[in-house]
Amino acid sequence: MRLWTLHPKYLDSRGLVALWREALLAQAVLNGETRGYTRHPQLARFQESASPQAALASYLRVVHAESLRRGYRFDRSKIGTGENAELIAVTRAQLQYEWQHLKAKLQRRDPTWWEQIKSLTRPKSHPLFRIKPGPIEDWEVVSSAASRRRSL
């Protein structure tokens, strides 16, 4: 499960569909509708928010809006209830880690999409997140190279 800090506009079509499905699964976890994934690290920031269900609904609304922009037909009725949630703080290093992770995936999976985004250096975050200074988040599962950068 990957609930990107990055704005969904950077995802290729396969990534956007996967994000939609994974965020719906995360919503089911937060609603107590499934026993799996309850301790998944990607859920930590939602679980720690003032209103986890509202935060995930806000997250999904942005993913849904991106799907409409691309002409997809994601089912809005699957998004839970809840008003706009409070912003969730995430570090700049986390955003940059995810950016490098996404670019590496896209270089292999969708080189055409990668060509469109590869030169961008300051990607935008999903609007639910407020970016603050700091290292890669503790909940992130990182490669050994990134782990070394985390401690610098």
| Whole-angstrom distance, CA of residue 66 vs CA of residue 59 | 11
pTM of the model: 0.90
Whether residue 64 contacts residue 77, with contact meaning beta carbons closer than 8 Å, is answered with: no
Distances (CA, A) of 94 to 52, 56, 68, 99: 20, 19, 27, 9
| Whole-angstrom distance, CA of residue 40 vs CA of residue 17 | 20
Whether residue 3 contacts residue 40, with contact meaning beta carbons closer than 8 Å, is answered with: no
Cβ neighbours of residue 10 closer than 8 Å, sequence gap 6 or more = 99, 102, 117, 123
pLDDT at 141: 87
Whether residue 81 contacts residue 57, with contact meaning beta carbons closer than 8 Å, is answered with: yes
pLDDT at 148: 42
8: left (phi over 0), alpha (psi -120 to 50) or beta: alpha
36's tokens: 């799996």
Number of residues in the chain: 152
In order along its 152 residues, the chain shows pLDDT tens digits of 799 999 999 999 999 999 999 999 999 999 999 888 888 888 999 999 999 999 999 999 999 999 999 999 999 999 998 777 899 999 999 999 999 999 999 999 999 999 999 999 899 999 999 999 999 999 998 875 555 444 44
pLDDT at 37: 85
Task: Compute CA 105 distance to the chain's CA centroid, rounded to the nearest angstrom.
Answer: 15
